[in-house]
Amino acid sequence: MKLPRTYYNPISLFGTILSAVSALIIFFFIIAMIFFEHGESGSYIGLFIYIVLPVFLIIGLILIPVGMSRRSKRIKREGEGSPAPYQISFLTLAIKDTGMPWVCLLEAPSFSYY
C-alpha cells in the first residue's frame, strides 16, 4: 500500500508513531488488567487506560491529517510539482481488479433467505 506523498512529513510520522504506541500500550494494559488484577489497583489502571492514554491516541490521529494538509500547502506554494489527477479508464478496468467476484460470492447465500 502506497501512501500519498503528503503523508511523508515529520508531523504525520510523529502522529502515526504516537497513535500506534498509545494503542499498543492500551492493548497491553487491558491484557495485563485481565490477567493480573489485584483488588483496588485495577481501578487506577483503568483510569489510565480509559482516560489518559486515549487522549494521546486521539492527538496522534489528529496530527496525521494536520501534517498532510501542511505538506500539501507547502507543495502548492513551492511548486514542487502538481499531483497527477485521478484518471479512470474503463478500457483497462477488469472485474478481477475490483473485487467484484468476491462480493458476488459472499452475497449470493444471503439472497436465498428472502
Q: What is the pTM of this model?
A: 0.64
Q: What is the pLDDT of residues 5-17, one digit of tens each?
A: 889 999 999 999 9
Model pLDDT for residues 26-83, shown as the tens digit of each residue? 999 888 888 876 666 567 778 888 899 999 999 999 999 999 999 999 888 887 665 5
Whose CA is closest to 7, among 67, 93, 53?
Answer: 67
Q: Could you tell me which of 55, 74, 78 has the C-alpha nearest to residue 11?
A: 74
DSSP conformation class of 83: P
The pLDDT assigned to 1 comes to: 79
* Torsion-angle region of 81 (φ positive above 0: left; ψ -120 to 50: alpha; else: beta): left
